[in-house]
Structure 1
Amino acid sequence: MNAPPRWFTVVAIVALLWNLLGCAAFISDLRLTPADIAQLPEAHQALYAARPTWAVIATAIAVFGGVLGCIALLLRKKWALPVFVLSLIGIVVQDYGLFVLADAATLAGPVAVVLQGLVLVIAIGLIVLSRKAIARGWLK
């Protein structure tokens, strides 16, 4: 097995922090009480009401899969790739629930679209990085 360059570890750590922020946001979202949701703007309340349970489960798969995949990168394990693929599937399913069924683009606005687009790009980037790391022998 070849040693990865220093930038690989830096990227894996930054990606881990990014995914931990996603976990924190997800847990914070789950902890919202009906009273908390009632204090949100009407559009956000509508978004919570329209969000299917399976989309919430997909979000959990996405964020926790991202964390697990980053840990695998730091441990230099090949199983990072399938975990990142699973995380990406969670993101796509979540986005379908949010943007197609719940119309989050209208309800939450362009910031939600940009943020979810960034999440998608980073997830794809982590898959590309994992494939490159496997091909170069950085992961075992």
Structure 2
Amino acid sequence: MSEYKEPASVKTPWHLWLVGGLSVFWNGFGCVDYIMTATRNAAYLKPYPQEMLDYWLNMPTWMWAAWAVGVFGGLFGSLALLLRRKVAFPFFAASFVTSSISMSFGFLDKNAPRMEGANIMSGIILLIAFLLALYAWWMSRRDVLR
């Protein structure tokens, strides 16, 4: 009679801890930015020009929702990655998709005020969101995430 053996678990690669840890800080900052803006924290918003504040604080509800899914999806994806859960990929994918939608709308809106370097920063944010989703998908494919 043969004995059933559990499949050998895949060892967690060192880079998962590095990527997961850095992404918690990165996405955590996005969550802080969202919360401080949504709660209209005067000290946090003080450096921004009034026309930017007027635009941000009067965004339609769907833009606030897309922004929330983008930042909190990224944070939840980061935590799921550190917990080695496959749900990291859907969280990161939702973060990338909703961030792409909201940033595209802001970019195409002719009435939106422009800040120097904002387009570059938006591109960096989207690139990082895409790369995190790709990384989570890759870790899932390698059975590192369960």
Q: Pick the TM interval, shorter chain.
A: 0.7 to 0.9
Q: Is the radius of gyration larger for structure 1 or structure 2?
A: 2
> 1:31 and 2:78 equivalent?
no
Residue of structure 1 in register with 2:128 after alignment: 122
Separation in structure 2 between the aligned mates of residue 95 and residue 68 of structure 1, nearest angstrom = 20
Structure 1 stretches of 5 or more lacking a match? none
Superimposed CA distance per residue, residues 46-69 of structure 1 (whole angstroms, 9 cap, x where no aligned partner): 523663221111000000000111
8 Å Cα contact 2:37-2:45 kept in structure 1: no
Matches within 5 A, 1:1-140: 1-32=9-40, 40-48=48-56, 51-101=59-109, 103-104=111-112, 107-140=113-146
Separation in structure 2 between the aligned mates of residue 30 and residue 98 of structure 1, nearest angstrom = 17
Deviating 4+ runs (over 3 angstroms): 36-40
Computed over aligned residues only, the root mean square deviation of the Cα atoms, in angstroms, reads 2.4
Query: Secondary structure of the residue that 2:117 maps to in structure 1?
Result: helix
The Cα of 1:102 is off from its aligned counterpart by 5.8
**Number of paired residues?**
137
The Cα of 1:37 is off from its aligned counterpart by 7.3
8 Å Cα contact 1:9-1:74 kept in structure 2: yes
The Cα of 1:114 is off from its aligned counterpart by 1.5
- The residue identity in structure 2 corresponding to 1:137 is D
Query: Secondary structure of the residue that 1:110 maps to in structure 2?
Result: coil
Separation in structure 2 between the aligned mates of residue 117 and residue 125 of structure 1, nearest angstrom = 12
